Amino acid sequence: MQTLPPSSRQTLLRLLGYFRPHWKLFIAGIVGMVLLAASEAGIPGLLKPLLDGTFVEKDPVYMKWAPVALIVLFLFRGLAQVVSNAAFAAISMHLMHTLRQQMFERLLHLPAAFYERAVSGNLISRFTYDVSQISHAGVQLFSALVKDSLTVVGLLIYVFWLDWQLSLFTFVLLPTVALIAKYVGRRQRRLSRALQDSFGDMTHVLEETTRGHKVIKIHGGQDYERSRFERIARAIRHQQFKLAVAATIGVPIVEFVGALIMAAVIWIGTGRAAEDQLTVGGFVAFFTALGLLFSPIKRLTKLNDPLQRGLAAAESVFALLDQPLEQDTGTRCLPDTRGALRFEGVHFRYPEAERDALGPLDLEIAPDSFTALVGASGSGKSTFVSLIPRLHEVTAGRILLDGIDTRELSLADLRRHIAFVDQQVILFNDSIAANIAYGMDADREAIRQAARNAGALEFIEALPEGFDTLIGENGVKLSGGQRQRLAIARALISDARILILDEATSALDTESERLVQKALERLRAGRTTLVIAHRLSTVQKADRILVFEAGRIVEDGTHDDLMAHRGVYYRLNQAQLFGE
């Protein structure tokens, strides 16, 4: 059953929970805003005695102290505003920091299935655009909601105290604001969600363009990428324009209603002043207070825009934070392993797929053995090896390591015994040494030995800064073969008992592949090694070859046995020889 999206109230309450650790700052900000709102009513409050006491009654006390009181009032207002702004700015910075930390922590522990369907541009947009919108909305929301609401209440009390009959006109204004907020709010929320998606799409296009600049240049894809970016940028422009219009449409309506009220007050108030029912100072104070009342009401009217943007952004951020983590219910620890693997009735099906991608699989892989996996692309080889470190969870059956169900082991403990080199090499924008020793506290000699065993030492030492050379984003400063050898060195330094190589030599030239194959022959001693390779010449020395077809193992044996059998493996071998 599909889960209903959270309501605005639920999202807002959850967001307010992030303020709880900073309650002292929150109280300081609220106190500053209360004092600021109270001082707002003090401005017209000073005008009445100032006008009546100085210009009308010529009172020397008022004439002496009224200017001093005015200076003190505005000094007090300035201090209150600085305190409130600083407090909420600090809370805003803490909020952004906390949300980004929590999202990043979540990303580190999400299952592989999430990354297979997620768009990286949308993820990046949540860290940048969405979090900024939440922070911006939080500051504006509390600044307007607390300060302006209290200001409106304070000024309303004051004008009712001055003349309750004239104050009745304000009841026309408040329902107008409420109706505008209700009408505009729904549209702004919908537009804000669409704008967030568009910013995610733009980030995705920018990422693909920078990553694929060589393909774009060689294949003349500039016009296609330009049109793709222009389409998204145009959608963002239209959505931002609609949001801007929706955010400002309420202000002129409020101003027009306010002008009608002010005109009515002037018309009626001058008559009451002529009848001595209202002093000149009282009338000016009332008129000033009414004028001051419109500014916070207009700001409250515009509050709906940042509020809806913030709520839409919060929904997006919370959707990521609510993603289910990898299943890590295992509690057992395996200090050491022989590397014996057994698959019992294993099936695997991708989410929402109609049939199994793998299975049924029943086999044993002996410790210290060299097992090769071959088959056409899409036959299930990579999926098979991804089940061992539990990058994907089996749909049915179980996988045993030294007789223990891998689901009984914690993920960290299980993966500590596995070294994995994927066909898609991932390197980080750091030094060569840091990439080889990634996730480990290894000394320089261990790093050198791993590089030597992977056939990478020669080219590393030829670089100007050697192991301290920065390799750029995903090793852009290195060749494909050099990147592949660094990935292999990173796997070898862990000294794990199970070694998985998924097309690990696919990007190597003949000489580099020969060096790596020699290194692997030495390193296979004492390890359970599984190798996926399309070059069948690299797996001929395997103790065992598993031939995959449509998610099943259709042949199992040595190279000589399978060639003599003249089945799928034989045909793959002949086709490759013929192609060469």
Q: Is 163 helix (H, G, I), strand (E, B) or coil?
A: coil
pLDDT-derived band at 15, boundaries 50, 70, 90:
confident
**Residues 137, 412: Cα–Cα separation, whole Å:** 39
pLDDT surpassing 70 at residue 167: no
If you average pLDDT over every residue of the chain, what do you get?
79
- Please answer whether residues 15 and 80 qualify as being in contact, where contact means their C-beta atoms are separated by less than 8 angstroms: no
Architecture of domain 341-579: 3-Layer(aba) Sandwich (3.40)
Q: Are strands 552-557 and 544-549 parallel, antiparallel or unpaired?
A: antiparallel
Lowest mean pLDDT among 164-178, 213-227, 494-508: 164-178
**pLDDT single digits (tens) 514-556:** 766 766 676 677 789 999 877 776 788 888 999 999 999 999 9
From 3.40.50.1860, 1.20.1090.10, 1.20.1560.10, 3.30.870.10, which CATH number describes the 8-104+117-321 domain? 1.20.1560.10
Q: Which one has a higher pLDDT value, 484 or 65?
A: 484
Instruction: Write the single-letter amino acid at 213.
Output: H
Q: Is the dihedral of CA 72, 76, 82, 85 positive or negative?
A: negative
What does the pLDDT read at residue 274?
A: 47
Tens of pLDDT, residue by residue over 317-355, are 998 899 888 888 888 888 888 899 999 999 999 887 888
Count CA atoms within 13 Å of residue 72 on its CB side. Answer: 7
pLDDT at 182: 64
Task: Centre a 10 Å sphere on the Cβ of residue 267 and count the other Cβ atoms it contains.
Answer: 9
Predicted confidence band of residue 78 (pLDDT cuts 50, 70, 90): confident
- Is pLDDT larger for residue 485 or for residue 387? 387
Query: Which tokens sit at 201?
Result: 């799409």
- Pick the more confident residue, 426 or 400: 400
The answer to whether the beta carbons of residues 73 and 63 sit under 8 Å apart is no
367: left (phi over 0), alpha (psi -120 to 50) or beta: beta
Task: Give 172-228 as a DSSP string.
Answer: HHHHHHHHHHHHHHHHHHHHHHHHHHHHHHHHHHHHHHHHTHHHHHHTT-HHHHHHH
Q: Each residue of 386-425: b (16+ CB within 10 Å) or e?
A: bbbbbbbebbebebebbebebbebebebbbbbbbbbbbeb
Note whether 431 and 470 are within 8 A (CB). yes
Q: Do domains 8-104+117-321 and 341-579 have the same CATH topology?
A: no
134, 97 contact by CB (below 8 A): no
Please report, rounded to a whole number, the percentage of residues in the chain having pLDDT higher than 90. Answer: 14
pLDDT of residue 211: 67
pLDDT at 275 over 60: no
Return the pLDDT at 336: 87
Domain spans, the chain = 8-104+117-321, 341-579
Q: In this model, does residue 378 exceed pLDDT 80? A: yes
Helix ranges (DSSP H) in 304-347: 304-321
- Cα of 316 vs its chain's centroid, Å: 9
Give the highest mean pLDDT range of 458-462, 481-485, 511-515.
458-462
Provide, rounded to the nearest whole percent, the portion of the chain with pLDDT above 70.
Answer: 74
Query: Would you state the pLDDT for residue 2?
Result: 47
Per DSSP, 409 falls in state B
Per-residue pLDDT reduced to its tens digit, 302-319: 677 777 778 888 888 998
pLDDT at 427 over 70: yes
